[in-house]
Amino acid sequence: MTEVKRQPPHAVGILGGMGPAAGADFVRLFVQACTRQLHEQGRPVHDQAYPEHWLVQLPMPDRTQALRGDPQSPLGPAPHLLQGMGRLAALGVRSVALACNTAHAWHGQLQALFPQLHVLHIARQTAAHLQAAGARQAIVLATQGTYDSGLYDAALARHGIAPLLPDAAGRTQLMRGIYEGVKQGDMALATQCFGAVLVPLLQRHGNVPVIMGCTEIPLALPQAPQALGTQLIDPAWLLAMALARDAYGLQAQESEHAA
């Protein structure tokens, strides 16, 4: 039998620091996604089968605060995002994943300034996945900055899915869980906050998919008793799978350059 000669995987990049725990966890998800790809392709799983991948973790100014003021401020995240992308481009990566949902508010700018890179889009990956699963509605748990940007609203609408959002009090509770909980290392507080926000949404809308639309939410919400039996969707995992597909030269699930 003639052995099929496969091309080596492409180098890919991960832009993190938003926060650092989420960036580090994304690397774990990416390695798991690569392992799945190797199994699905019938390829042997060993150290040398994994793609070259680079994590750039920069101290990143707050994205939500920037979106409420001047998104292009020199004191905001925009210059840091551009710096991180430049470093990854210099390393010769083919594709980049942003390990932060809110940072995708700058996705169009980053893709335009680095056309040689494939900048994956977390909300489009998530919307395509839900559409393929037949979903018509989805609860979106995210930062206030992500809500303000309409990131998931636009992506879900393009795929015929209605976004279901928490009220103002719920959004405040989510931000507390993210900033005072996960970012401060108080996972018990984060779990309590996220679970409390989820309950009234499930009571109102039923057991519809729940998008954990901040990379810190999956670090705590799955442990909440209120989340037991719910359809938790982790966009970071879907993004990691897309990055793995790109690394192995497989077609991505989304239309990356959609408006």
Query: Is 150 inside any structural domain?
Result: yes
- So what's the pLDDT on residue 8? 87
Q: How many domains, in total, are found in the chain?
A: 2
Query: Is 17 inside any structural domain?
Result: yes
Residue-number span of the structural domain to which 111 is assigned: 12-122+237-247
pLDDT-based confidence at residue 251 (cuts at 50, 70, 90): low
Query: Is 136 inside any structural domain?
Result: yes
The mean pLDDT of 218-243, rounded to a whole number, is 96
Distance between CA atoms of residues 182 and 54, nearest Å: 24
- Residue 101 sits in the same domain as residue 137: no
Query: Is 127 inside any structural domain?
Result: yes
- Residue 102 sits in the same domain as residue 134: no
CA distances from 197 to 130, 141, 156 (A): 22, 9, 21
pLDDT in tens, 120-139: 999 999 999 999 999 999 99
Query: Is 254 inside any structural domain?
Result: no
Radius of gyration in angstroms for the set of CA atoms belonging to the chain, rounded to a whole number: 18
Contacts of 249 (CB under 8 A, 6+ apart): 7, 9, 10
- Decide: helix, strand or coil at residue 13: strand
Query: For residue 216, is pLDDT > 50?
Result: yes
pLDDT in tens, 142-180: 999 999 999 999 999 999 999 999 999 999 999 999 999
Counting beta carbons within 10 angstroms of the beta carbon of residue 33, is it exposed (0 to 12), middle (13 to 18) or buried (19 or more)?
Answer: buried
> Helix crossing, 168-176 with 187-205: angle to 10°?
160
Output the domain CATH number for residue 217: 3.40.50.1860
The mean pLDDT of 31-49, rounded to a whole number, is 95
Q: How many CB atoms lie within 10 A of CB 197?
A: 25
Query: For residue 253, is pLDDT > 80?
Result: no
Query: Is 26 inside any structural domain?
Result: yes
- Residue 145 sits in the same domain as residue 82: no
